Amino acid sequence: MSTLLTVALWVVVIWFVLIVIVTTVLMTVVARHTKKDESAEVSFPTLEPISEQVGDSTITLYTYGQDVYDAMLAEIRGAQDHVYLESYIWKNDELGEEFKREVIAAADRGVDVRLVYDSFANAVVPRAFKQFGPKIQVMRHGWFSLWILVLRIRKLGRDHRKILVVDGRVGFVGGYNIGADYATKWRDTHMRIQGPLTWELQNAFVDFWNAHAKKRKVEPLDDPGADHWEPRLRARRNAPIQMSFPIRNMYLDAIDRAKVRISITQAYFIPDSDILDALLRAAGRGVDVRVLVPENSNHVMADWLSKAFYSRMLEGGIRILFYQPTMVHAKTATIDGRWATVGTANIDRLSLTGNYEINVEVVEESVAAMMDRIFENDCTATRELTLDEWSQRGRMARFGEVVLIPLRPIM
């Protein structure tokens, strides 16, 4: 038995070594041929911020980073009571410095400022930049945990959320991290909520803060409950500490309801078998299923893992649209002109069953219409991958798709 176990362990080790070698070669080759000049000007189709009402609240959608950053900074400058800001990535460039100056200025005038950032995602950011002064409470979500040795999911989730709430009256959520390149060079989507429904984002921030306050040695926040109920809009939140992952179920439920069209935009599309099967069933019953992804994202590994699904998708009637001008980082979907979601979760294992994430779900035709308009605008900068083109890919590509399959559970 010990001999068989030893052989089995060596097979596993050799397999993963092979994966690492092949992955390194593939990533090097692909990156060499697809890397773009990051200093070059980027042009891509965007829309002016567009708004609609949901009950007593106003929902605004942004497709251009500078627009959403201008709006966020204006709200921080006008804050009178509190600023709650949570960002997966907060770069120490000129935009990051501007956000830092404004939150410090808000704290100096007596505003209660609470900040959250993910330590792992910001490991390369200088330590000096992460000092915000004694008036601001900062929660640094853990960089590394020994729980990884026993795969304790409750303890391992990265904080991938991007939330800003000001005075409980206005909030922002979506795919935009804080960084100058995102302002003009990436295509992403963010939502602004003004009015009573801001509670959805404030409550999400408060719950996360209080769940980690004792360990991080910060003061907890009041949790007064909601004064307003609006069933058309809900913030769905993944919380590994509670083993709660409702965003995945949200997608499955919405896809199963589809009758006419499903339009999904994803930075990294690595669906599990249930989500892929649901999309294939929808396409099989005549739904126009379109998945828009970057042709070459900023994560070559994710691109290769995603490609392993293309044969089944195309053969099953799912249309794949490659976004051409730049990196598209949005995590959005709209179905049948009735349902829409904007948030931080990618359709991959890390987002759907691993990270702290938040997606706003809206069941309202006017908001879905805005999302449809954004999707169609993005489609003007895509090319569609055909089954004929895909079937002619080379042997190296086919081999890479297969050999990387074991990495899906960790991506």
Q: Are residues 356 and 225 in the same domain?
A: no
133: left (phi over 0), alpha (psi -120 to 50) or beta: left
Q: Where are the alpha helices (DSSP H) in 217-317?
A: 246-257, 273-284, 300-307, 310-315
Residue 134 lies in domain: 50-230
Give yes or no for residue 6 having a pLDDT over 90. Answer: no
Same domain, 60 and 203: yes
**Same domain flag for 283 and 313:** yes
Q: Are residues 156 and 222 in the same domain?
A: yes
**pLDDT of 206 higher than 60:** yes
Instruction: Give which of 321, 363, 306, 311 is closest to 338, Cα–Cα.
Output: 363
Compute the distance between CA of residue 334 and CA of residue 173 in angstroms, rounded to an integer. 17
pLDDT of 149 reads 42
Q: Is the pLDDT of residue 394 over 60?
A: yes
Whether 191 is in a domain gets the answer: yes
Amino acid at residue number 183: A
Q: What is the pTM of this model?
A: 0.90
Asked if the model's pLDDT at residue 219 lies above 80, the reply is yes
Q: Which amino acid is at 261?
A: R
Does one domain contain both 210 and 322? no
Q: So what's the pLDDT on residue 25?
A: 58
Whether the CB-CB separation of 299 and 21 falls below 8 Å is answered with no
Check whether residue 104 and residue 223 sit in a common domain.
yes
- For residue 58, the domain's CATH number is 3.30.870.10
268 and 298 belong to one structural domain: yes
In a domain, 295, yes or no: yes
Q: What is the pLDDT of residue 301?
A: 80
Predicted local distance difference test score (pLDDT) of residue 114: 98
pLDDT band for position 245 (cuts 50, 70, 90): very high
Does residue 294 share a domain with residue 202?
no
pLDDT tens digit sequence for 338-362: 999 999 999 999 999 999 999 999 9
**Mean pLDDT value across residues 360-371:** 98
State the pLDDT at residue 150. 42
What pLDDT digit, counting tens, does each position of 302-342 carry? 888 899 899 999 999 999 999 999 999 999 999 999 999 99
Task: Tell which of 174, 200, 230 closes a domain.
Answer: 230
Residue 235 included in any domain: no
Domain end, chosen from 203, 230, 257, is at 230
In a domain? residue 201: yes
Residues 86, 62 share a domain: yes
pLDDT for residue 400: 58
The tens digit of pLDDT for each residue in 160-181 reads: 999 999 999 999 999 999 999 9
The CA distance from 91 to 186, in Å, is 15
DSSP 337: T
- Higher-confidence position of 93 and 29: 93
pLDDT in tens, 18-77: 665 555 555 555 545 555 555 678 899 999 999 999 999 999 999 999 999 999 999 999
Within a domain: 32: no
Q: Identify the pLDDT of residue 324.
A: 97
Total domain count, the chain: 2
* Cβ count within 10 A of residue 9: 10
Task: Please state, for a pLDDT cut of 90, what percent of the chain lies above it.
Answer: 77
Q: Which residue has the higher pLDDT, 41 or 366?
A: 366
Q: What is the mean pLDDT of the chain?
A: 90
- The pLDDT tens digits of the residues spanning 111-165 come to 999 999 999 999 999 999 999 999 999 999 986 554 444 444 556 789 999 999 9
Do 147 and 267 lie in one domain? The reply is no
DSSP 8-state symbol, 391? H
Domain-located, residue 30: no
Answer yes or no: do 335 and 222 share one domain: no
Whether the per-residue pLDDT at 410 is higher than 70: the answer is: no
Residue 36 sits at φ, ψ, to 5 deg, of -105, 160
Of 230, 250, 280, the residue that ends a domain is: 230
Q: How far apart, in whole angstroms, are the C-alpha atoms of residue 305 and residue 266? A: 14
39 in a structural domain: no
What is the structure's pLDDT at 36?
Answer: 56
206 and 347 co-located in one domain: no
Q: What is the pLDDT of residue 8?
A: 66
Looking at the domain assignment, is residue 285 inside a domain?
yes
Compute CA distances 46 → 208, 335, 381, whole Å.
Answer: 33, 21, 10
pLDDT(405) > 70: no
